[in-house]
Amino acid sequence: MKLLSILAVAVGGSLLALLIMLLIKAQASKEGVATGLVNGQLSACSPKPNCVNSEADSGADKWVAPLTYAGSADAAWQRLQQVIQAQGGVLVRVDGDYLAATFSSNLFGFVDDFEARLDAAQGVIQLRSASRVGQSDLGANRTRVAQLRQRFSAP
């Protein structure tokens, strides 16, 4: 019985420590800004598995296709902004053919950066979505881009 009590205290303490660590990391994710453009392109992902990118060479495991559109580049750019906001994103910066937005997780409020670059000459919108902190995002950024793509393509 005493062993069970000790085990219960140890497990409870570990869970409390994990919860505190997650809250600290979530708070840390609120600091910072999107990386922005590097030589006119979206920056590459870090080696961590918490980023996807359609433009910079970040490796096959991080690659996503850019958004394609038909018709007006301006209309597509406006549509993307509407879709980002409808999906819960907050537009932080819209500057010509570049935009930055943030998305926050529901549970702890972790902040992820979403960036896009309109490439009107190619008829595509390049995308980058990355977590600000932590190692893994459990596929959240890839899922976000897939959902955004689906909404963007919907009539």
pLDDT digits (tens, 9 = 90+) for 88-140: 999 999 999 999 999 998 777 789 999 999 999 999 999 999 999 888 888 99
Confidence of residue 54 (pLDDT cuts 50, 70, 90): very high
Closest C-alpha among 41, 123, 122, 37 to residue 75: 123
What pLDDT, on the 0 to 100 scale, is given for residue 110? 83
Q: What is the distance between the alpha carbons of residues 106 and 129, in angstroms, rounded to a whole number?
A: 17
Whether 12 has a pLDDT exceeding 70, the answer reads no
Residue 15 host element (H or E): helix 2-29
Q: Please state the length of the chain.
A: 155
Q: What is the distance between the alpha carbons of residues 44 and 46, in angstroms, rounded to a whole number?
A: 7
Q: Which residue has the tokens 């902040």?
A: 111
What pLDDT, on the 0 to 100 scale, is given for residue 75? 97
Assigned token pair, 122:
């190619």
Report, as an integer, the average pLDDT of 1-13: 67
Give the dihedral sign, CA 76/81/85/87. Answer: positive
Whether 24 has a pLDDT exceeding 90, the answer reads no
In the chain, what are the domains?
Answer: 2-153 (3.30.310.80)
Verdict on whether the full-model pTM lies above 0.75: yes
Q: Is 138 left (phi over 0), alpha (psi -120 to 50) or beta?
A: left
Whether 16 has a pLDDT exceeding 70, the answer reads no
